[in-house]
Amino acid sequence: MAEKIICVVGPTACGKTKLGVLLAKRYDGEVVSADSMQIYKGMTIGTAAPTVEEMEGVPHHMIAVADPAEQWSAARYARAAVPIVDDILRRGKRPILVGGTGLWLDAVVQGRTFAGGHAGGAVRRELQAQLAREGIGPLLEELRQVEELVNDAILEGYPVVTEVLPIEEAKKKGAVAMFGEKYSDVVRVVEMGGVSMEFCGGTHVDNTAKVGPFRIKSEASVASGVRRIEATVGQLTLDTINRNQQVLFHIAQMFKTNPGELENRLEQQMNEMKDLRHELEKFKEQASLGEARSFLASAKTVGELKVITAQRDGMDAAAMRKQGDFLRDKEPGVVGVLASVNDGKVTLLAVCGKDAVAKGVKAGDIIKAIAPICGGKGGGKPDSAMGGGTEVSKVDDALAAVDDFVAGKL
């Protein structure tokens, strides 16, 4: 069971869900997550969350806590996840487990985590660059394992032995030719303690220990199925480690803690920011609904319907929908059209209450009629529709056309 499961672990907004979605697409998998900061029911949270379009075609199973204040143990998450994982496996798919902690993931796969997606800062940017280039690229855990393997060989202090041999004899000994290069009939073979034996004409140390610490700088694809790693060794690696340590100590001082406690402090700060964002969103929603009530109070009457037109720049589509849904659900006879300008682009939302729809006034028709005035297009359902445009100066004209459109339908 465990061999068919991929786990992606990382902090909030590190890109782990995006990575999980890409893995699911590559390996015909389904995403299983137990993290509230995920895409769920069409809502994205966090800067690295995948878009609805990216999630299209990828089944996503959310292990949701009914009460946000309730604390679930890793074992409880695991118990909830196991039936879902078993069902995915029975259907011949691959479970992609995504979460902020490896505890419940390990419990599901019996202590084996295969892919660490822990990414932040420069590492996250490099991960995103890899995803853009390759679709996925190697996982960070794989690179860590390569570093560990090489450093272990260096610390063993293997003697570096060179000999010149006929190429066929060298091949029989197991020497490896790198990158498909062409060689003469006689080759120089370099062997390091049975760990590595290659054709190579370069100059080398006489013992692996003299190489010094090894650190991967970058990796990239050079051909189909072939990846090249760029790395540093010796003093250059030590210089990099020292610079990184200085940055670590500086950041720790900024947060008034020591490097050993920095992760806990950052996690605390992130949780506080999450709570503040949640409170801010609640405040914005309450303010938006209060504004919607004022719209209703000042609505114009056209026939037996209440017509509302308003422009509120800076609102995103989600906020406009919430305000529009409130108007539609609060007043059956409402016809509401909201406009917002963001970064030189116009967004239009139309909503119609059930009484307005019954009289033939439909939101989709309104958007189709007024969006072209702003140099755009759109459409949607009878009770809710959206559109957009590029001619900001025409927003007033588009809103002014709503009254005549409604009157023409009555």
pLDDT tens per residue, range 183-198:
788 888 888 887 888 8
More confident residue, 399 or 204: 399
pLDDT value at residue 78: 67
Give pLDDT tens digits for 101-115: 554 455 555 433 333
Give pLDDT tens digits for 367-401: 999 999 999 888 888 999 999 889 999 999 999 99
* DSSP string for 334-350: EEEEEEEEETTEEEEEE
Tokens found for residue 337: 């059209």
pLDDT value at residue 112: 35
pLDDT value at residue 318: 81
CA-only gyration radius of the chain, Å: 30
Backbone angles phi, psi at 389, to 5 degrees: -165, 180
**Residue 3 predicted with pLDDT over 80:** no
Give pLDDT tens digits for 268-283: 888 888 888 888 888 8
pLDDT value at residue 27: 78
Tokens found for residue 285: 């929603």
What is the pLDDT confidence band of residue 338, given thresholds at 50, 70 and 90?
A: very high
Q: What is the DSSP letter of 227?
A: E
Q: What average pLDDT does the structure give for the chain?
A: 78
pTM > 0.95: yes or no: no
pLDDT value at residue 90: 81
Q: Provide the sign of the torsion angle of the four alpha carbons 123, 132, 143, 141, taken in this order.
A: positive
Least confident of 101-115, 289-303, 311-325, 381-395: 101-115
| Measured CA distances, 254 to 190, 241, 246, 262 (Å) | 49, 20, 12, 10
How far is 137 from 132, CA to CA, in rounded Å? 9
**Region 301-319: what's the mean pLDDT?**
88
Residue pointed to by tokens 């405040």: 283
For 352, the 3-state DSSP assignment is strand
What is the pLDDT confidence band of residue 72, given thresholds at 50, 70 and 90?
A: low
pLDDT value at residue 378: 87
What is the pLDDT confidence band of residue 180, given thresholds at 50, 70 and 90?
A: low
**Residue 24 predicted with pLDDT over 70:** yes
pLDDT value at residue 44: 36
**Residue 227 predicted with pLDDT over 90:** no
For 184, the 3-state DSSP assignment is coil
**Region 169-183: what's the mean pLDDT?**
75
For 134, the 3-state DSSP assignment is helix
pLDDT value at residue 217: 87
Instruction: Let me know: does 65 contact 72? Beta carbons within 8 Å.
Output: yes
Instruction: Let me know: does 227 contact 139? Beta carbons within 8 Å.
Output: no
More confident residue, 245 or 108: 245
| Residue count (the chain) | 410
* DSSP string for 13-61: TSSHHHHHHHHHHHTTEEEEE--SSS-BTTB--STTPPPHHHHTT--EE
